[in-house]
Copies of this chain bind each other. A is one copy, B any other.
Amino acid sequence: MTHSATTDKRNQYHKTRMERKKAQIDASIARAQDEKGVLLVITGNGKGKSTSAFGMVARALGHGLNVGVCQFIKSRTDTGEEAFFSAHPNCEWHVLGDGFTWDTQNREQDIRTSRKGWEVAMGMLTNPRYDLVVLDELTYLLSYDYLDQDTVLDALLARPENQHLVVTGRSALAELRDIADTVSEIRDEKHAYTAGIKAQKGVDY
């Protein structure tokens, strides 16, 4: 077979395979017709959970939607994401944390901080004005038992019907995964940090 005949054949196989694939994908699109607010959980120990939520914030703002963000653990207010999004008129941004639990080393203080933060989140979860709500690092408040699990899960489910909600953080509880529409688990295959590269502005904060 000449080179050109081989190429032609490869191109033809490609076309046939892709026709079949397109038919499958078109059929799934036709089946997927429901429009409603979705609950997304982005968990796992890899890099990209919060940034993934922030990417959805950008998408939503790009479509003219209203967004509310609660950051539950972080206390620093010098992050790129806050500087960038909090200036946007359609985005409400709250830094509600006291630092990670190993920074505070004080469980009762963490619980008080968590409860105060949760009230801010409840203001969003009961208000249909917010098209997208991000509860960044909420999972820790559940796994450390700083908030009552049933109260939180019920509130997530009782939010306005068309409100999208993104919850991030490691070790999402099974009960939270159960009520979610989409769950992504980010696995840390390799991290610059463990190779001695420090946290980089614009990438890590």
Contact = CB atoms under 8 A, between A and B. Distances in A.
Give the size range of A's interface with the partner: 35 or more
Interface string A23-38: 0010011011111101
A152 interface: no
Contacts of A57: 55, 58
Contacts of A36: 197
A80 B60 contact: yes
Given A33-B196, A106-B15, A184-B48, A203 B54 contact: no
A190 interface: yes
A147 interface: no
Contacts of A81: 55, 58-59, 62
Given A47-B182, A199-B32, A59 B55 contact: no
Interface stretch (A97-105, A113-121, A153-161): A97-105
Interface of A: 10-11, 14-15, 18-19, 21-22, 25, 28-29, 31-36, 38, 40, 42, 44, 46-63, 65, 79-85, 101-108, 131-132, 164, 177, 180-203, 205
6 contacts: A34-B198, A35-B198, A38-B200, A58-B85, A65-B202, A187-B187
